[in-house]
Structure 1
Amino acid sequence: MGLKAGRDQFGDLYKHYGQALSFRFARDKKGWRLLVTTAAIRGRPCTCPEAGAMGLDINADHLALALIDRHGNPLNKWTIPCHTFGKTSEQRQAVIGDACKQVIELAKQAGVPLVMEHLSFRKKKDELEKSHSARYARMLSGLAYDQIHKTLVSRAYREGVELARVNPAYTSVIGRTKFSGQYGLSVHHGAAVAIDRRYFQFSERLPRGASAWLWDDRAGHVALRLPEDNGKHVWTRWAILRGKLATALAERPKRSKHPPALSATAGLREGESGVVFDTALPF
């Protein structure tokens, strides 16, 4: 039976089954190649904001994830290694693919949207240089950052995981100031919590008091005087605090990379996959 006769016999069935394919012949040094193109199939939606959200903070050597409920309370955290510095293109692709697969699987298992910053590599590199060093920032190349982003978008689409992007303004300083020291999180997991909460449009006010102790991710803590309320938008005060923090970090020696352990009274217990919060602690 010819193709035309088959279409005449089965009619509209061709419109509801199968998928359109586009064929193209290309010739290179090895000979002729047949290239087939088709649209990606979107997975059935499997996440719901009512269950919370999972924030992602991309760093030079790892991906930091933090899970919160819909009220903004942290529930769990994960650190996924993603070392791409010094790797070949094939090795880099494999490392990024494995890391992104784990991220999407965690979001899918939790049934929550994945939230990340909507920013360029240039801004991310500047942020890393301020909090770490120029060498650390160079470890996260523009190619690797772009590949992580594209891989996450593609895999989330196929798996039916909602991928949301939020304004990245001051998420690092907010996470460091409000969440890292208080809950024993790294500055990166603190930033992931801030990214999560921005997805739910929570307003992030500065802590009460005239000063605050901030984990500096290098040698301990730095004490900074908090900016006074000038009647302007709260981001104005966060901008001032970020400038003070950048100056303080530049003057600190490099030592430890992990925050000090909290006491048992902090309401936390150590889990195999991260820190699990026993109680919903308000911010």
Structure 2
Amino acid sequence: MGVLRKMSAPFVALGSSGVAIRTRLKHLTPEDEGVLRVVGAHLGLLASRDLRRRCADGLEHSSDTWAERKRALTGESSSRWAGSITKVNHDQWALSRRAQLAHIQGLEAGMKTIEHRLSLPVGERGSKRAPGGYRSRQEWFAKTRRLHVLEDQLTAERADREAGRVRVVRGGKKLARGRHHLEAAQLTAEQWRQRWEASRWFLAADGESGKRFGNETVRVTPDGEVSLKLPAPLAHLANARNGRYVFAARVHFHHRGDQWADRVSAHRAVAYRIHLDVERSRWYLTASWTIPPVKTVPLARARKGGMVGVDANADHLAAWRLDEHGNPCGAPSRFFFDLDGAASFRDAQVRHALIRLLHWAQRHNLSIAIEDLDFGAEKTREKHGRRKRFRNLISGMPVSKLRARLVSMAAELGITIVAVDPAYTSQWGAQHWRKPLTSKTRKTTRHDAASVAIGRRALGHRIRRRTAPPHDDQSDRRGHRTAQAGGGARGREGTCPRIPGPRTRSDGAVCGAKAGDQDAQHRSERPAEPVQLMLSL
């Protein structure tokens, strides 16, 4: 039996630190749309040039080079537009660096798995914890060639990282590659060109506290009037004072509109982004701002009254309610979602499943326990070999999106989220809880049992269920075997200590001079021993 890895303790997940709301820019005139397209294309060109300079700086980037880039952009736009462009590009470069590191770690993990399998004899069976050898000599030879390919890729990626070189595509690499596969993307050349140009526009401005309505570049008044500070070369397009353009559209935020209005009225910072949905030919305005982190509820308070254990799967969420002692209550619940379709459809499915789960937990006034999953190193084909369906299953699970949305949506409803270590929850849950919770009218699945294991771990109990005492007689002289004791309690697997004295609730059972004399008791006959003695005589 292998050594179990050390598991981390449960913790209360922090709430979201930002808010983003979106509304549609309706009733735009042709002149309004023309101004948005011209300004977006002009600022997008400046953003592309600045991103190229940022990538060229690499690790030599400093505050001086940042200020130099900003001064170069100010003359062609404005100081605030230049600040927004340089900040976005710096964040994009940092994101690419993190993605580069993750790619390097994935290559190292794949090479390690291939080297391990190549060292084993061909056809050797593997175990649950480690893969075995390859099935044939042909596959073994193919993997040796793939190992050399991964080594070359790893060498190139490490060289790029040491030099501070990253590769970024404004507009997205997926859309850029789609130009060569228009039939597969079901797009014409003109449709692709429209999407490509719209994705490279830049119409985003950071907020400033203390300025009028929280933003001097893209200004939205409390009554919904939207105006834009035009770049210096496009100042001739202004229809208002100080080089501003006021749109005919009026906006209204249906979600969190009161919070937005309070911030705008108090002149607190609000960032705005305008973008075009090419498929629908609609313009949208997104407002965002930061909020203080939600105060973390103590873990002891989150455990009060019980917990709702949730097991995330590829097509549903399995949940079961547990009391504070870790005992399952009622019947399990499942919240299904469908991830086959467009990104907007998948996102809506996940949100719908989460809101049903949160409302169910809110009715019981309980916290939610969920696994702290991360499948970053579990998706490679080197780890799972030919199990393509299993790899696709893992890749299709919306782990990061589900966790982020669950935390943010739970914070709005005042529900606490407790994250637990995902180690062995499915295996031990099925081993200790699947059979006991199955009856003639209820079929408990492996996922339902895993939700019980997750909830018990969040409550601080051991996953193994409490066992009953032996059925040798009606007394409990052997004691109850229980798994509720702490992991460090000595003798927790032994029998309970024997308590001297009779097992009776009567007062004074051992008191009096004739306590041991059976003849003195109120019985219908004398004890058996004297009767047998008289018969023998």
Task: Judge conservation of contact 1:61–1:140 (CA < 8 Å) in 2.
Answer: no
The residue number in structure 2 matching 1:193 is: 452
Unaligned runs of 5+ in 2: 1-209, 212-260, 439-443, 468-486, 489-537
Residue 23 of structure 1 pairs with residue 271 of structure 2: yes
The residue number in structure 2 matching 1:144 is: 398
CA pair 99-136 structure 1, distance change in 2 beyond 3 A: farther
1:51-70, aligned counterparts within 5 Å?
Answer: 51-70=305-324
Residue 179 of structure 1 pairs with residue 433 of structure 2: yes
Residue 102 of structure 1 pairs with residue 346 of structure 2: no
* Letter matched to residue 115 of structure 1: A
SS at 2:320 equivalent: strand
The residue number in structure 1 matching 2:370 is: 116
CA pair 92-140 structure 1, distance change in 2 beyond 3 A: farther
Q: How far does residue 35 in structure 1 lie from its aligned partner after superposition?
A: 4.2
Q: How far does residue 54 in structure 1 lie from its aligned partner after superposition?
A: 0.3
TM-score of the aligned structures, taking structure 1 as reference length: 0.56
Residue 78 of structure 1 pairs with residue 329 of structure 2: no
Q: How far does residue 36 in structure 1 lie from its aligned partner after superposition?
A: 2.1
Task: Judge conservation of contact 2:429–2:449 (CA < 8 Å) in 1.
Answer: yes
Task: Judge conservation of contact 2:316–2:336 (CA < 8 Å) in 1.
Answer: yes
SS at 1:121 equivalent: coil
CA pair 36-21 structure 1, distance change in 2 beyond 3 A: farther
Distance 2:314 2:433 in 1: 21
Deviations 1:211-270 (A, max 9, x none): xxxxxxxxxxxxxxxxxxxxxx99xxxxxxxxxxxxxxxxxxxxxxxxxxxxxxxxxxxx
SS at 2:341 equivalent: coil
User: Matched residue pairs, number?
Assistant: 189
Distance 2:390 2:350 in 1: 18
Task: Judge conservation of contact 2:373–2:399 (CA < 8 Å) in 1.
Answer: no
* Letter matched to residue 23 of structure 1: A
SS at 1:164 equivalent: strand
CA pair 27-161 structure 1, distance change in 2 beyond 3 A: closer
The residue number in structure 1 matching 2:423 is: 169
CA pair 39-206 structure 1, distance change in 2 beyond 3 A: same
SS at 1:80 equivalent: strand
Query: What percent of counterpart residues are identical?
Result: 25
Task: Judge conservation of contact 1:63–1:81 (CA < 8 Å) in 2.
Answer: yes
CA pair 98-136 structure 1, distance change in 2 beyond 3 A: farther
Q: How far does residue 139 in structure 1 lie from its aligned partner after superposition?
A: 3.5
Distance 1:196 1:71 in 2: 10
SS at 1:169 equivalent: coil
Q: How far does residue 40 in structure 1 lie from its aligned partner after superposition?
A: 5.8
Larger Rg: 2
Task: Judge conservation of contact 1:55–1:66 (CA < 8 Å) in 2.
Answer: yes
CA pair 195-32 structure 1, distance change in 2 beyond 3 A: closer
Give the structure with the higher percent strand: 1
Distance 1:207 1:31 in 2: 59
Task: Judge conservation of contact 1:60–1:140 (CA < 8 Å) in 2.
Answer: yes
SS at 1:54 equivalent: strand
Which structure is richer in relative contact order (CA contacts within 8 A, separation 6 or more)? 1
Task: Judge conservation of contact 2:429–2:463 (CA < 8 Å) in 1.
Answer: no
Task: Judge conservation of contact 2:271–2:287 (CA < 8 Å) in 1.
Answer: yes
CA pair 57-49 structure 1, distance change in 2 beyond 3 A: same
SS at 1:51 equivalent: coil
Q: How far does residue 65 in structure 1 lie from its aligned partner after superposition?
A: 0.4
1:236-255, aligned counterparts within 5 Å?
Answer: none
RMSD between superposed Cα atoms in Å = 3.7
Unaligned runs of 5+ in 1: 5-16, 209-232, 235-283
* Letter matched to residue 18 of structure 1: D
Distance 2:465 2:282 in 1: 64
CA pair 205-72 structure 1, distance change in 2 beyond 3 A: closer
Distance 1:174 1:138 in 2: 24
Task: Judge conservation of contact 2:372–2:422 (CA < 8 Å) in 1.
Answer: yes
Distance 2:283 2:447 in 1: 48
- Which residue of 37, 41, 48 corresponds with 2:288? 37
SS at 1:182 equivalent: coil
Residue 87 of structure 1 pairs with residue 316 of structure 2: no
Distance 1:59 1:120 in 2: 13
CA pair 59-124 structure 1, distance change in 2 beyond 3 A: farther
Task: Judge conservation of contact 2:314–2:397 (CA < 8 Å) in 1.
Answer: no
